[in-house]
Amino acid sequence: MGGPELEQLIGLFSRLPGLGPRSARRIVLKLLRDKEGGLARLADAMQAAAAAVRSCTVCGNLDSSDPCAICAEPLREARICVVEGVADLWALERAHVYRGRYHILGSTLSALAGRGPEDLAIAPLLARLEAAPVEEIILALPATVEGAATAHYLTERLKRFGIPLSRLAQGVPIGGALEVLDEGTLATALRARGAAN
């Protein structure tokens, strides 16, 4: 319908995360309604990003400068928060509570999926710690089996540096209703309960 160019475009959009054929068609029709301001502008922005954005050689963050803006900030604290991906770094930055640096692993260990330590950016992390010691390493990994396995493995590998290691607290999310929480989170939150003052 609409010729090969249109079908190709809708097909590519429908494979993006969270989109399907219906939403892809809606988006493409909206973009075509204003070819200059919609379609061409977005295509230009994509090509500009493809040309400019690269992985930071220090921490793995995506940025148009290398080292990335965060690594280049002189006032960041000498802490490293280890995350799985760039989306996690962005989420932590939006929370405005952490003023340290980051390290992006790129993935988590998974025996099932065949992802071993060599598939993660662990060697660059060790190299960073050799080059400049830090006050603390925070493991902000997903609260999944793979995340826990990765945290466990990193704890072993980082032991020799003698740097304080911490991990994010687990419990009831803020605004979370107990009745919709899974049993695992509830059990963790109950076991880790603190004084009510």
- Interacting residues toward a copy of itself by CB under 8 A: 1-6, 8-9, 12-13, 16-19, 23, 25-32, 35, 39-43, 45-53, 61-65, 68-69, 85-87, 90, 93
| Closer residue to a copy of itself (CB): 49 or 145 | 49
| Closer residue to a copy of itself (CB): 8 or 57 | 8
| Closer residue to a copy of itself (CB): 58 or 158 | 58
Q: Closest distance between a copy of itself and the C-beta of residue 115, in Å?
A: 15
| Closer residue to a copy of itself (CB): 46 or 123 | 46
Q: Closest distance between a copy of itself and the C-beta of residue 48, in Å?
A: 5
The beta-carbon contacts of 72-81 under 8 Å, at least 24 apart in sequence, are: 75/99, 76/100, 76/101, 77/101, 77/135, 78/132, 78/133, 78/134, 78/135, 79/134, 79/135, 79/136, 79/137, 79/138, 80/125, 80/128, 80/129, 80/134, 80/136, 80/137, 80/138, 81/137, 81/138, 81/140
Q: How far apart are CA 142 and CA 156, in angstroms?
A: 18
Q: How far apart are CA 122 and CA 104, in angstroms?
A: 9
| Closer residue to a copy of itself (CB): 52 or 78 | 52
